[in-house]
A and B are shown apart, each in its own frame.
Chain A
Amino acid sequence: MDVAAATILGKLIGAGLAMIGAIGAGAGIGIVTSGAVQAMGRNPDAAGNIQTNMILGIAFAEAVAIYCLVVALLILFVIG
């Protein structure tokens, strides 16, 4: 296998591996939302407040997946 093909292969595999980290963010967002929905079911009056905090929590959990995505994009498009 020549070097160019090996480089492309490595890039693709590496980018795919980098995105494994999105598993954690997915689970985290699911947990956050399930907690928020339960809380809204118990106390519908506080739904607005809970929703705000839920979106904040989702944003923090999602940040991890975004880091993975950035690493994958860097591997694919930036690194020589």
Chain B
Amino acid sequence: MSETKSKNRTWARWVVLAAILLGVFLFTGVGLGIKPIMPEVFLPGERLSETPLFGIPGLYLTNTLIGMLGADLVVFAIAFFVYRGVKSGSVALKGVSGAVEALLEALENMTEGTAGKWTKDIFPWFATITLLVLSANWLGLLPGVETIGLLHEGHGEHSVRTVAGIQTIWDDSAEMAADAHVEDTHAEEDTHGEEMATDDHGEEHHGAAIIPFFRPVSTDLNFTFALAIVAVVMVQVIGFKALGWGYLTKFFNVKHFFSKPIFGFIDFGVGLLELVSELSKVLSFAFRLFGNLFAGAVLLFVMGSLVPFFVPAMFYMLELFVGMIQAIVFGMLTMTFMAQATQSHGDHDEAHA
């Protein structure tokens, strides 16, 4: 029995290998003579429709907004699975809920070590931010993300061509007549289609670019800034909760202003610097997450255009790692700043510096 099973498995392995080879043959230029492509890079989230959402001016349906909804759905799904796991009443959780339990336990131990008795206030922020950013980052690695979308003519540098009933952007620096039979500009684009066309020499022919339906939300500065502002504001809230109005003496240090003539003044200046550093935390939070994830996306684009198969897999591995590290770093920095805010900036400052 077991022997036939293992034999079946070996057989399945050959099938998978054959499928991979067929895919390589079909989609990477060996079969169709297609060149790999470097897609257009857009910094802000691209608009999918030109009319504002709900009639609110300035609020458009961008692809990063859809990425945000995707991340939210993942978090809701995790919540649902954990609810079901806890409801089942078994002591040892299995599957998704077990994995989430292990993750949250590790995070809580980390919080406990840093924040002590304020763990109950700080841990929810840490865990929420980490889970949300982690699911947002990892969603961006799914196939089809940033490759399937609307063809948008006008501001790209690629031409359009239909391959197997699917319109895609195409490199026709060799054959200029290819974009004659392009009529419908709103068509889907195949996952592998993006790896099919063009380098960046749009000369005279009108260009086209793909606006993907789905883009990981961490590559949108709006999201990272919003999250950073939430984190830094909550740091202040927890500081006030822990120390009351005494928290303000961290920034406006007038304790020794009159008792110690010169050093009191220096303390006051240091407090003002502390205020500036609090504001710069927002910037560094936002740009750290955005920069890492955006650079990762561009890296995957470039690698996919240089070597369309095998090599990008390693960079996907790297991005998996970077996405996790950045999620944990964002959460952990929030947690550390919150823990610092709960400690009074008294004379015994050096004890927990």
Residues of A whose CB lies within 8 Å of any CB of B are: 49, 52, 55-56, 59, 62-63, 66-67, 69-70, 73, 77-78
Report if B336 contacts A (CB, 8 A).
yes
- Residues on B with beta carbons closer than 8 Å to the beta carbon of A69: 291, 295
Which are the 7 A-B pairs with shortest beta-carbon distances? A66-B291, A77-B43, A59-B329, A69-B291, A63-B284, A70-B287, A66-B288
- Residues on A with beta carbons closer than 8 Å to the beta carbon of B43: 73, 77-78
Given A59-B332, A70-B287, 16 more A-B residue pairs with CB atoms under 8 Å apart are A55-B325, A55-B328, A56-B332, A56-B333, A56-B336, A59-B333, A63-B287, A66-B284, A66-B292, A67-B284, A67-B291, A69-B291, A69-B295, A70-B291, A73-B291, A77-B42
Known contacts A52-B110, A77-B43; decide if A66 and B332 are in contact (CB<8 Å). no
Known contacts A73-B43, A73-B294, A77-B43; decide if A67 and B332 are in contact (CB<8 Å). no
- Residues on B with beta carbons closer than 8 Å to the beta carbon of A62: 288
What is the total number of residues of chain B having a CB less than 8 Å from a CB of chain A? 19
Report if B77 contacts A (CB, 8 A).
no
Report if B113 contacts A (CB, 8 A).
yes
- Residues on B with beta carbons closer than 8 Å to the beta carbon of A55: 325, 328-329, 332
Central interface residue in A56, A59, A67, A77, by most chain B CB within 10 Å? A59
- Residues on B with beta carbons closer than 8 Å to the beta carbon of A66: 284, 287-288, 291-292
Q: How far is the CA of A67 from the CA of B292 in the complex (A)?
A: 10
Name the distance in Å between A9's Cβ and chain B's nearest Cβ.
15
Report if B41 contacts A (CB, 8 A).
yes
- Residues on A with beta carbons closer than 8 Å to the beta carbon of B288: 59, 62-63, 66
- Residues on A with beta carbons closer than 8 Å to the beta carbon of B329: 55-56, 59
